[in-house]
């Protein structure tokens, strides 16, 4: 089973990821976690380039190709082998993020992005995608709190530095994708407190992954 977590900056998806692992392991599932960009050793180098706020002049096309490069390496060397071994793979962001950030928000052609993905990465799709939805103003303020308190690296803030309007497009894009694929997406209200969100996530995943023990 392949589960992805998506959402705007500061939506709390990374915090929920570890809680999901504990929940699913308690139900008898073997889990592995990862993230994009940066889920492999090569991907970590690509991530550093993509998120470095000094790289302001990066063209949207360069950005797109770097995300695709990160992803194909991740799929071939991490995701597919773990899925083949029968594990639950939980990934913090995947292809939907490219459609939303590079498509809806940067304005690149979404059909072309999807075609590029199919050509390079193939047909792998998440079984379930949890979309942590909240107001960009709230998400951004949470993200900057984490950065200013040292909880997140300043070296990875290229997207946090984008204007609110950019993040609004990201949010709207995600909600649009969720409307287009209601069977895959589960939209989680991420505006509440952490425990409340965890309860909602566990209810959602509990219905899909019955306890094995
Ligand atoms: P994160 O690891 O903190 O979520 O940061 C990853 C950043 O990269 C985030 O701002 C979203 C952005 N991103 C894209 O623009 N396109 C993509 O395909 C992915 C996976 C992430």
Reported as a single tens digit per residue, the pLDDT across 133-160 is 999 999 999 999 999 999 999 999 999 9
DSSP E strands in the chain: the ranges are: 2-7, 31-35, 88-92, 128-133, 185-189
For the CA of 159, the closest atom of ligand 1 is 10
pLDDT given at position 174: 98
Spacing, Cα 18 to ligand 1 middle (Å): 18
What region does 96 belong to: left with phi over 0, alpha with psi -120 to 50, or beta? Answer: alpha
Per residue in 11-46, pLDDT (tens digit) is 999 999 999 999 999 999 999 999 999 999 999 999
DSSP 105: I
Q: Where are the domains of the chain?
A: 2-208
pLDDT given at position 10: 95
Pocket of ligand 1 (CB under 6 A): 9, 35-37, 51, 67, 93, 97-98, 101-102, 159
CA atoms 182, 6, 160, 139: torsion sign? positive
Per residue in 49-92, pLDDT (tens digit) is 999 999 999 999 999 999 999 999 999 999 999 999 999 999 99
CATH topology (fold) of 2-208: Rossmann fold (3.40.50)
Give me the helix-helix angle, 194-208 and 13-26, nearest 10°.
Answer: 50
Q: Which of 101, 113, 156 to mutate to test the pocket of ligand 1 (most atoms within 8 A of CB)?
A: 101
Q: Are strands 2-7 and 128-133 parallel, antiparallel or unpaired?
A: parallel
pLDDT given at position 97: 98
Residues β-bridged to residue 3: 90, 128
∠ CA 62-123-78, nearest 5°, is 75
Whether pTM > 0.85 for this model: the answer is yes
Taking the CA of residue 181 as centre, how many other CA atoms within 13 Å lie in the half-sphere pointing to its CB?
Answer: 14
Q: Which of 17, 51, 65, 97 to mutate to test the pocket of ligand 1 (most atoms within 8 A of CB)?
A: 97
Spacing, Cα 62 to ligand 1 middle (Å): 14
pLDDT band at 100 (very low <50, low <70, confident <90, very high): very high
Spacing, Cα 92 to ligand 1 middle (Å): 9
pLDDT given at position 204: 97
């Amino acid at each position: 089973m392949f589960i992805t977590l998506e959402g705007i900056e500061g939506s709390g998806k990374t915090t929920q990821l570890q809680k999901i692992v504990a929940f699913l392991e308690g139900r008898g599932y073997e889990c592995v976690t990862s993230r994009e960009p940066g889920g492999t050793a090569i991907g970590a180098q690509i991530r550093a380039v993509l998120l470095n706020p000094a790289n302001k002049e990066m063209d949207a096309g360069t950005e797109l190709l770097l995300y695709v490069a990160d992803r194909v390496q991740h799929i071939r060397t991490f995701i597919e082998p773990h899925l083949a071994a029968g594990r639950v793979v939980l990934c913090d962001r995947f292809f939907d993020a490219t459609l939303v950030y590079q498509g809806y928000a940067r304005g690149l052609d979404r059909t072309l992005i999807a075609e590029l993905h199919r050509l390079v990465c193939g047909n792998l799709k998440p079984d379930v995608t949890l979309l942590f939805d909240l107001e960009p103003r709230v998400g951004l303020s949470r993200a900057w709190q984490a950065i200013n308190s040292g909880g997140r690296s300043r070296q990875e803030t290229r997207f946090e530095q984008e204007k609110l309007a950019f993040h609004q497009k990201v949010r709207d894009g995600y909600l649009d994708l969720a409307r287009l694929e209601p069977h895959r997406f589960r939209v989680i209200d991420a505006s509440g407190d952490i425990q409340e969100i965890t309860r909602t996530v566990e209810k959602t995943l509990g219905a899909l992954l019955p306890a094995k023990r």
